[in-house]
Amino acid sequence: MLKILISNDDGYDSPGLEVLFEHLKEVAELFVVAPEINNSGAGCSITTNRPLKATRHDNGFISVNGRPADCVHLGIHELSPWKPDLVLSGINLGANMGEDLLYSGTVGAALEGRGLKYPSIAVSAAAFNQPGSENFLEPNNQTAALVIKEIIENYESIELDSSVVLNVNVPNVEYSKSLNKRVTRIGSWGKRNPPHKETKDNGTEVFWTTHRDKFTSNDENTDIFCLMDEEVSISPIIPNFSNEVCIKQVTKWIEQWY
């Protein structure tokens, strides 16, 4: 049976994590290490300025007073009773696509697994509006969990390089076996909204940041288009900070200094 280390960025008590666990315990051996509080937007950040503490809860889940990447790192090295075959991060509340991959703690946890040479999957359930907003639509965690269960049941038939993370985004629809799944590339949301200034009653100025009210159009091969089309988006991603196209250009520029 596949051994899976599960983490997330919404916290150890998030509904998405609980639904995911309930569906996957039928097909895999699971161990959960997740942040003790919501860490949305944490990206790949880690904790270095204070000690980390792990707390075991009644359901067997372990929470850590750190970032999603800390949870995976600590889970693999110290907490898990076995070395996992796979690291799974989610289910995130809301989609993680386009430029948001840079900010996503869900993706950050999966990338930490990838950095430790473990195949990793990040999974998110579309909501499209922030909790508390007028048009917020609760994500369909049930559908996302069943899609991941399908992936896990077929996982051993793919020889996926551990340097690749699968970023899975699931639409807010009812689950069916016929729900279409597409391999996509990363699209673009466009620019974020500028900060909004607010003056409090005591005269203090504060700033609110929000994502985007409008976004650019995306072609049909992107994660954003795919999800808008109510299909499951599966994007193989890999962090590569080298821009091969510009290496010659920058080299020539520096050589001109001498």
Residues 6 or more apart whose Cβ sits within 8 Å of residue 162: 114, 117, 118, 119, 120
First to last CA, the chain: 61
Model pLDDT, residue 131 = 52
Q: Phi/psi at 132 (nearest 5 deg)?
A: 95, -20
Model pLDDT, residue 132 = 52
pLDDT at 7 over 70: yes
Question: CB–CB of 149/168 below 8 Å?
Answer: no
Confidence band for 193, pLDDT divided at 50, 70 and 90: confident
Fold for the domain defined by 2-189+217-255: Stationary-phase Survival Protein Sure Homolog; Chain: A, (3.40.1210)
- The model's pLDDT over 52-102, given as tens digits with 9 standing for 90+, comes to 999 999 999 999 999 999 999 999 999 999 999 999 999 999 999 999 999
Model pLDDT, residue 190 = 84
Model pLDDT, residue 243 = 85
Model pLDDT, residue 37 = 97
Question: CB–CB of 122/96 below 8 Å?
Answer: yes
Cα separation of 10 and 36, whole Å? Answer: 9
Mean pLDDT calculated for residue range 155-166: 85
Confidence (pTM) = 0.91
Mean pLDDT calculated for residue range 124-142: 74
Question: CB–CB of 106/124 below 8 Å?
Answer: yes
Mean pLDDT calculated for residue range 212-233: 89
